[in-house]
Amino acid sequence: MCGIFCLLSLSPAESPHDQRLHQNLRRRGPDSAQDLTVSHAGPFSRCLFSAHVLHMRGPLTRQPVRDAGGNVLLWNGEVFAGVPVAPDENDTAVVARRLSACDAPAELVSALARVRGPWAFVYYQRARRCLWFGRDFFGRRSLLWRFDAEAEALTLTSVAGDACGAGPWLEVPAAGVYRIDLEAGRVAGTGGGVTLEVYPWATAAAGGGLPSPENVPSNCVATMNPWGLVLAPPVSPLNTAVPEEVEDGVLRSPPASRVAAEDLEAALASRERTGEVDRLIAVLSEAVQRRVLSLPSDVGDESPPPPPNEDHASVAVLFSGGIDSMILAALADRHVPAHQPIDLLNVAFKLQEKRRQQPAKKAKNKKDGEDQNKPAATAAASETPSPFDVPDRLTGRAGLRELRALNPARRWNFVEVNVTEEELREARRERVRHLVQPLDTVLDDSIGCAMWFAARGEGVVTRAAGDQTPFASLAKVLLTGIGADEQLAGYSRHRVRFKTSGHQGLVQELAMELGRISSRNLGRDDRIIADHGKEARFPYLDEDVVDYLNSLPVWRKADLSLPRGVGEKLLLRQAARALGLGSSALLPKRAMQFGSRIAKMENGRERASDRCNRLLSA
C-alpha cells in the first residue's frame, strides 16, 4: 500500500502545497518518500509526482520509478497473478518494466488488463507525451481527483487533505483507465480543464463504460478514446439465469422467523455437499494463500522489516466471528506458517449505562443488517457484563473457541479493541473525517470509524491464565470479508428484493451491487485501513473467486426460501461446515455498525444514507 499523488499544472505558477494531504499520504507509506517533477513545453507546463511507499515485499522499491526512457510510474498495487513476479522481486519494478516495453495505447491497456490484484496507478509515458491513470476492475485501491480552476491544476491522489479544504474531491470511477494527451489543448472556455480519454472495461455497463459526468471533475471532459479500445475484464459476466419451475413454490415457503435453531442445523445438514462447495473452498483458499504469502521479506534489503516472531503476527483478520471472517481465519490457518500467530481484530464501542440495563428490549429496526437473533454465545452468568460486550464481541469469542478447536496448536491473538465515546470523537476529528472524503453519509462515518479502530489493532489479549495484557497488532496485512454479502446475497435487502420480485429481481440487485462496490466501499476502506501503514486485502474479491461465483446461477449461491442464518450465503455456509466450523456457520448477517454498537452511540433517528454532520463540524 502506498500513497501516490500527481499534480498536473496548466499554469507555470506554483500551486499551494496542501500540508494535511501530504501528511495523510505519508501515513499510508511511511517507508520511503520522494518527489519528482517533469517539465514541459506546451499547454501543460509541469507535472509533479509524489510517492510514499509502504514496503511489502521484495527489495524496497523507491517511487516514483523512472526508467532510462524517462517514463515515470506511481504504483499503489499488488500483483497477485497474471504477470509473473519472482519471490525476491518487487512487483512495482516488474510493472514498470512491462509498461516501459509498451508503445501504442493498445499495448499499454492490454498489459494493465493482465494484472490480477488490486491497483491504482499513474504513468507518464514520455515518448507519447501522455499521462495514464486508473484503478483496477473492482476499484480495490483508492484514487481521487479534482480540478482546481483557480490554480489551473488537476490533482490525482490516494487520499484527500483537510476536510474543510478547497474544492470537492471525487473518486476516480473504476470504469476503466484514463489518458491525458499532454500535447493537446485544454478544454475551451474560462478555467478550461483537461480532456480525459477513457479506455473502459468491456462490460455491459450503462453509458458504454464512460463515467457519468457528475463523477468527472468540474471543467474537465471525459470522452471515449479515438480508437474505441476497451480492456478485457478479469472475470466472466454474472450468470443471470433464473429457475423456471420452482419460482412459485419457492415463494410459498414458510416465513423465516418461525424456524428454531435445531431446524437451521437440519436445513444446513440436509443440503448435499456438492462439487461446488469444494470448488469454492479451493478458489477461496488459493485467494487467501496469495494474500498471506506475499509478505514483507528481508532479502537484500536496505531496511529489513522485523521478521515475524513468536509474538508478532504478519497477518490479521478483521474479525466479528461471523461466517465471512471465520472462513478467512480458517483458511489463513492453512497457509500461515504454523509457528506464527494470527491476529483477530475485534472492535467494540462502549454501551451506555441506560441501554445496558434493558437488554431484553428487542430491536424493532428492520433495516439492513440489523440482527434480531440472539448471539450464539452469551457471557457466563457469573461475570458482571462488561459495557464492551457488544454482539460482535460475543460472537467473536465464540468464533475464537471454534478456531482453537480447529487448530489448538496455533496461537490466535484475539485482540479486543474497546473504544470509548471520547476516543471516538477524537479519532473522527483528527483522522476519519479527512479519510472518508469524498464520502459523507452516516453509514460512511460509522463504518469508517469502526474500521479505523479495528485496523489500528490496539487493545488487550487474554492469555491462558485469564489475565489481560495490552496488545498492539503489528501485522501489515489485514484480511477483510468485504464482497461476500454482495456476491452471495447476504444482506436482508436481498431477501426483500427476492420476496417482491423473485430470482429475477435478486439477480439484478446482485449485479448492481458488485458494480458499485468501488464507489460505495472499497475506496473508503482502503483509505481508512492504509492510514495505519497497513494494507487491506480482500480474498472474496480475488478475480478467480469472483469469476467462479459469477459463473454459478444464483440459486446455487443462496436459497432465500430458507430461513435467515441458512438461506443467505448458503453455499458459503456449506463451505464453512466442510471446513469444520460450528455454529458460526449459522449466524445471520450483522453489519459492522450494529455489531460493534457504534451506531448506538449516535443519534438513533438518523438514516444511514443521510449526510453526516459529525464529519463536517468535528
Ligand X SMILES: *[C@@H]1O[C@H](CO)[C@@H](O)[C@H](O)[C@H]1NC(C)=O
Catalytic residues: 2
> Binders of ligand X: how many residues, by CB under 6 A?
18
**Residue labelled with grid coordinates 481484530:** 345
Instruction: Map residues 226-255 to x or -, x wherever contact with ligand X holds by CB under 6 A.
Output: ------------------------------
Give the helix ranges, DSSP H, for 74-138: 91-100, 105-114
What is the rounded CA–CA span in Å between residue 80 and residue 6? 25
**CB of residue 480 vs ligand X: minimum separation in angstroms?**
21
Minimum distance, C-beta of residue 61 to ligand X, in the bound complex (Å)? 4
Angle between helices 323-335 and 275-293 (to 10 degrees): 60
Residues 341-370, interacting with ligand X (CB under 6 A): 348
What residues numbered 553-612 form the site for ligand X, per CB under 6 A? none
Measured between alpha carbons, how far is 6 from 37 in angstroms, rounded to an integer? 10
**Hey, is 455 helix, strand or coil?**
helix
Binding to ligand X, residues 85-104 (CB under 6 A): 88-90, 93
Question: Is 590:415 a contact under the CB 8 Å cutoff?
Answer: no
Choose one: 119-127, 189-197, 388-396, 515-523; the region binding ligand X (CB under 6 A).
Answer: 388-396
Distance CA 452, CA 437 (A): 14
Whether 455 and 447 have beta carbons less than 8 Å apart is answered as: no
Binder of ligand X out of 195, 203, 240, 386 (CB under 6 A): 386
Cβ closest to ligand X, residue 377 vs residue 460: 460
Q: Pick the closer one to ligand X by CB: 89 or 181.
A: 89
* Lookup: cell for 19: 500540508
Per CB under 6 A, 618 contacts ligand X: no
Neighbours of 250 (CB within 10 A): 17
Nearer to ligand X, 416 or 559 (CB): 416
Residue nearest to ligand X (CB): 388
Tell me whether residue 61 or residue 593 sits nearer to ligand X (CB atom): 61
Site for ligand X in 443-462 (CB under 6 A): 460
Q: Return d(Cα 130, Cα 180) in angstroms, integer.
A: 6
Cell match 499488488: residue?
Answer: 78
End-to-end CA distance of the chain: 28
Q: Which residue number, 416 or 535, has a Cβ lying nearer to ligand X?
A: 416
Instruction: Return d(Cα 181, Cα 197) in angstroms, integer.
Output: 8
Cα(393)–Cα(415) distance, integer angstroms:
10
* Residue 388 engages ligand X in binding (rule: CB under 6 A): yes
Ranges assigned E (strand) in 394-513: 412-419, 458-462, 468-472, 477-479
C-alpha cell at 455: 485496523
Spatial CA neighbour of 420 closest among 379, 462, 380, 449: 449
Q: Which is nearer to ligand X, 378 or 468 (CB)?
A: 468
The window from 45-53, 386-394, 407-415, 432-440 that contacts ligand X (CB under 6 A) reads 386-394
Residue in the structure block whose three cell numbers are 442445523:
265
* Residues between 466 and 505 that touch ligand X (CB under 6 A): 468
> Closest distance between ligand X and the C-beta of residue 95, in Å?
10
- Least distance CB 416 / ligand X (angstroms): 5
- At closest approach, how far in Å is the CB of 171 from ligand X? 29
Indicate which single residue of 22, 179, 290, 393 sits in contact with ligand X (rule: CB under 6 A).
393
Comparison of 137 and 388: residue with beta carbon closer to ligand X: 388
Q: Which CB sits closer to ligand X, 132 or 388?
A: 388
Q: Which long-range contacts (CB under 8 A, 24 or more apart) does 181-190 make?
A: 181/129, 181/130, 182/40, 182/42, 182/43, 182/44, 182/47, 182/129, 182/130, 182/131, 183/42, 183/43, 183/129, 184/43, 185/43, 186/10, 186/43, 187/219, 187/220, 187/221, 189/219
By CB under 6 A, tell whether 392 contacts ligand X: no
- What is the rounded CA–CA span in Å between residue 509 and residue 495? 11
In terms of CB distance, is 84 or 226 closer to ligand X? 84
Q: Of 389, 392, 542, 559, which one interacts with ligand X (CB under 6 A)?
A: 389
Q: Which stretch binds ligand X (CB under 6 A): 228-236, 308-316, 364-372, 385-393?
A: 385-393
CB of 396 to ligand X, least distance (A): 9
x/- mask, ligand X, residues 27-66, rule CB under 6 A, reads -------------------------------xx-xx--x-
* Contacting ligand X within 402-431 (CB under 6 A): 416, 418
Residue 556's CB is within 10 A of a number of other CB atoms, namely 18
**Residue numbers at the binding site for ligand X (CB under 6 A):** 58-59, 61-62, 65, 88-90, 93, 348, 386, 388-389, 393, 416, 418, 460, 468
